Amino acid sequence: MSELIVKPLKQASEDGSVLAITPESAGWTYVGFEVLRLQAGDKVERRTDLKEVCLVLLSGRASVRTLHAEWVNIGKRMSVFEKTPPYSVYVPNEDIYEINALTDVEIAVCSAPGKGTHEARLISPEQVGVETRGKGNVERQIHNILPEGEPADSLLVVEVFTPEGHWSSYPPHKHDRDALPDESLLEETYYFRVQPEQGFAIQRVYTDDRSLDETLAVNNGEAVLVPRGYHPVSAPPGYEVYYLNVMAGPKRLWKFHNDKDHEWLVKA
């Protein structure tokens, strides 16, 4: 198995964790990512310590409490493939979050270094920017959950729906150099869901010099690490692909560089 693929546990841990990526396990500095699957009535409480956190309710309903705020009965979609924007909660560092599952719920815990600049807040579906990007067989639907125009210290969070037979994160692009204003350095995770569940996505991760060059078959519920390089995704015919991206780096800006071999596609 590729070291870039992180597989879920066959059975959730005591606190509902089924998949966890830390900077230490990934061998990088900024991005942390975890998936919690809780049953109705389950409760999880954690401290954020030095990390800011964005809790994305992938499916199901829950109540979330922090030190100074509480949101009761949030969440609407029962599957990511309903394609409605999610409810999310931003929690700063040096805070706590308590999740009470009202139904079976799947929650993504996105984390990165925090500076204590912003207060905890609800990100409602109405606040999520929805856009269609690309055309033809590179058309996909984007939900900008925590883009750079919204308050956070490090985190950038977005979800993407790629129709069957389409490509996304395409043309191939990268953001692995701290070379603003041309390119920003951002680590990135991809968390995949596939419909029907027995399907798979294809993701290639490669650098110009091919010192990294892997083509991955990614199953439902798996995550991919993108430490550097270009990282396009393909959805095979018959299978719709969802992924949640988490990015963070030394500066909270998304400035990417297209693969020069495929730059012509931007103007096609």
Residue 127's SS3 state is helix
pLDDT for res 235: 98
pLDDT digits (tens, 9 = 90+) for 47-79: 999 999 999 999 999 999 999 999 999 999 999
Check if the beta carbon of residue 79 is closer than 8 Å to that of residue 100.
Answer: no
pLDDT digits (tens, 9 = 90+) for 138-192: 999 999 999 999 999 999 999 999 999 999 999 999 999 999 999 999 999 999 9
Tell me the C-alpha to C-alpha distance, in Å, between residue 251 and each of 13, 127, 179, 226, 248.
34, 23, 10, 17, 8
pLDDT at 107 over 80: yes
Give the sheet arrangement for strand 43-47, strand by strand.
43-47, 96-101, 62-65, 70-74
Average pLDDT over residues 1-19: 92
pLDDT at 126 over 70: yes
Residues near 267 by beta carbon (within 8 Å), at least 6 away in sequence: none
> What is the rounded distance in angstroms from the CA atom of residue 169 to the CA atom of residue 240?
15
Length of the chain (residues)? 268
pLDDT digits (tens, 9 = 90+) for 21-33: 999 999 999 999 9
How crowded is the C-beta side of 83, counted as CA atoms within 13 Å? 14
CATH number, span 5-265: 2.60.120.10
Q: Which residues pair with 4 in a beta bridge?
A: none
pLDDT for res 1: 56
Residue 136's SS3 state is helix
> What is the rounded distance in angstroms from the CA atom of residue 195 to the CA atom of residue 241?
7
pLDDT for res 64: 98
Q: How confident is the model at residue 2 (pLDDT cuts 50, 70, 90)?
A: confident
Q: How confident is the model at residue 213 (pLDDT cuts 50, 70, 90)?
A: very high
Backbone angles phi, psi at 22, to 5 degrees: -115, 160
Residue 212's SS3 state is coil
At which residue do the structure tokens 């693969």 appear?
Answer: 259
Average pLDDT over residues 237-248: 98
> What is the rounded distance in angstroms from the CA atom of residue 154 to the CA atom of residue 111?
9
Residue 216's SS3 state is strand
**Domain segments of the chain as ranges:** 5-265
DSSP state of 125: G
In 186-222, which ranges are E strands? 187-195, 200-206, 213-219
Residue 264's SS3 state is helix
pLDDT at 87 over 70: yes
